[in-house]
């Protein structure tokens, strides 16, 4: 089930977060974005809402696993709305810890988990003793051309 403003409001209320009028506008704005967006995009769309309110709201949405922060191929920081929702609870089905595949053509973000990556990170932690402390988290973005863009823009034969 895709994210709707109402489902996002429900998730925030379930987390005891206030749903103020500016937050409603920000949520409505990001719900209409088909791919990724930046905080600056939101500020430009809603110039009457303060920057601090935009950034604070994005942080609340990120903490609630409603949006994810991703690094685009040009090193720009952006956000993506998590699409998978449990229909009854309004809670995101995207696991708290996941990785991103970011399309270099359309910037679509897909989420994935890979046990092999987790094993490598765990092994890395033990193999570089004295250099690194305990690894507490990691972020992985893989840049590709998504299946939809491959079909729309096939390589010439």
Q: How far is CA 106 from CA 18, 91, 121, in A?
A: 33, 27, 29
Considering the domain boundaries, does residue 157 fall inside one?
no
Whether 111 maps to a domain, the answer reads yes
**Percent of the chain whose predicted confidence (pLDDT) is above 90:** 34
Q: How many domains does the chain have?
A: 1
92, pLDDT greater than 70: no
The parent domain of residue 93 ranges over 5-152
CATH number, domain of 71, equals: 1.10.10.10
The DSSP bridge pattern shows strands 67-71 and 99-103 to be: unpaired
Q: Would you say the pTM of this structure is higher than 0.85?
A: no
**If pLDDT is split at 50, 70 and 90, which confidence band does 72 have?**
confident
In a domain, 16, yes or no: yes
User: What is the number of other CB atoms lying within 10 angstroms of the CB of residue 28?
Assistant: 14
User: Degrees (nearest 5) of the Cα angle 107, 94, 85?
Assistant: 100
Question: Residue 42 above 90 pLDDT?
Answer: yes
pLDDT at 50 > cutoff 90: yes
Whether residue 87 is predicted with pLDDT greater than 60 in this model: the reply is no
């Amino acid at each position: 089930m895709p994210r709707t403003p109402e489902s996002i409001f429900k998730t925030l209320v379930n987390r005891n977060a206030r749903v103020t009028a500016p937050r409603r506008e920000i949520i409505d704005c990001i719900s209409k974005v088909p791919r990724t967006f930046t905080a600056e995009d939101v500020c430009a769309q809603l110039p009457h809402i303060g920057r601090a309110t935009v950034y604070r709201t994005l942080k609340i949405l990120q903490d609630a696993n409603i949006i994810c922060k991703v690094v685009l191929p040009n090193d720009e920081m952006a956000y993506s709305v998590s699409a998978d929702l449990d229909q009854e609870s309004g809670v995101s089905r995207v696991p708290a810890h996941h990785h991103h595949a970011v399309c270099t053509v359309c910037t679509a973000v897909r989420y994935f988990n890979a046990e092999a990556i987790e094993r490598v990170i765990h092994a890395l932690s033990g193999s570089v003793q004295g250099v690194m402390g305990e690894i507490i988290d990691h972020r992985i973005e893989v840049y590709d051309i998504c299946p939809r863009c491959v079909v729309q823009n096939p390589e010439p034969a």
